[in-house]
Amino acid sequence: MDNLGERCEIARTATGRFLHEPVREPATAVGARVETAGRGGHASPLAPGLWRNDLGVQLSSAAIEKPNRRDFLYIATAAVGAVGAGAVVWPLIDQMNPDASTLALASIEVDLAPIAEGQIVTVKWRGGPVFVRHRTKKEIDDAVNTPLSELKDPQTDQERAKKPEWLIVSGVCTHLGCVPLGHEGQYEGWKCPCHGSVYDTSGRIRQGPAPANLPVPEYTFLSDTRVKIG
């Protein structure tokens, strides 16, 4: 509705609002009607003669160009209104961001002591699966000794595992999000049942449509038997 005023031909001050008289018409006597033919836009107020006297403004081209007190008030009000509108709208949008209870689960601690060598444990972190794999010596050697030229997404095993016996990777297939099955596939890593992506013992993509290695989340070892993920 704001644009209606601007798009119709109306007298303009610096803000161009609410002075609904055309520039070139002379001021009329009280009660006289002002013809509004040919303006093809905004309808004139219903009592133009009275209104003009109400305003007490005689329009001339000189008066139109200088910004006046009214323009200042309009712009200042609009500016404060915009800040107010922002202040009102922000909480309504921010409430959809993760809330305190979700953020509290942003990090989890995992006890590594019960995980046997060769075992893969799946934990829930930020709503999704994370594989914690206690790797055997063979699995570590296979991962380290892979030439990078064989990898679609080249990464060394050392880049991916802080301690070689513990591999911690996200359990979400980088193709379309299914959870791959552990100890499957020709590399004894993981294989995704949905479209056949095959990962090795470092969680790197070897075959299939997935474009990237299983992502490594942020993690820290709090001790030899406790790791904090996230």
Partner 1 sequence: MSGSPTYVPKSALGRWFESRLPVMGLVHSSFVAYPVPRNLNYLWTFGAILAFMLTAQIVTGVILAMHYVPSATLAFASIEHIMRDVNYGWLIRYLHTNGASMFFFAVYVHMFRGIYYGSYKAPREVLWILGVIIYLLMMATAFMGYVLPWGSMSFAGATVITNLFTALPLIGTGVAHWLWGGYAVGDPTLNRFFSLHYLLPFMIAGVVGLHVWALHVAGQNNPDGVEVQNVERDTVAFTPYATIKDLFGLSIFLILYAWFVFYIPTYLLDADNSVPANPLVTPAHIVPEWYLLPFYAILRAIPNKLVGVVALAAAIILLAFLPWLDTSKVKSAKYRPAFRVFFWLFVVCCVGLGYLGSQEVSDTTTWVARILALGYFGFLLVVLPVLGLIEKTKPLPASIADAVLAKTKPAEAAAPPASR
Residues that bind partner 1 (CB under 8 A): 1, 4, 7-9, 18, 30, 36, 40-43, 45-47, 50-51, 53-54, 91-92, 94-97, 99-102
Phi and psi at residue 221, to the nearest 5°: -85, 115
* C-beta of 61 vs 97, nearer to partner 1: 97
Alpha helices in 97-228 (DSSP H): 100-104, 137-144, 157-160
Closest approach, Cβ 149 to partner 1, in A, equals 48
Beta carbons of 224 and 163 less than 8 angstroms apart = no
Nearer to partner 1, 8 or 75 (CB): 8
Distance CA 112, CA 101 (A): 25
Task: Write the DSSP symbol of residue 150.
Answer: G
Per the annotation, the verdict on 195 as an active-site residue is yes
Please state the closest distance from residue 8 (CB atom) to partner 1, in A: 6
What's the rounded Cα separation, in Å, for the pair 192 and 198? 6
CB of 40 or CB of 114, closer to partner 1 = 40
Shortest distance, position 172 Cβ to partner 1, whole Å: 25
Catalytic residues: 195
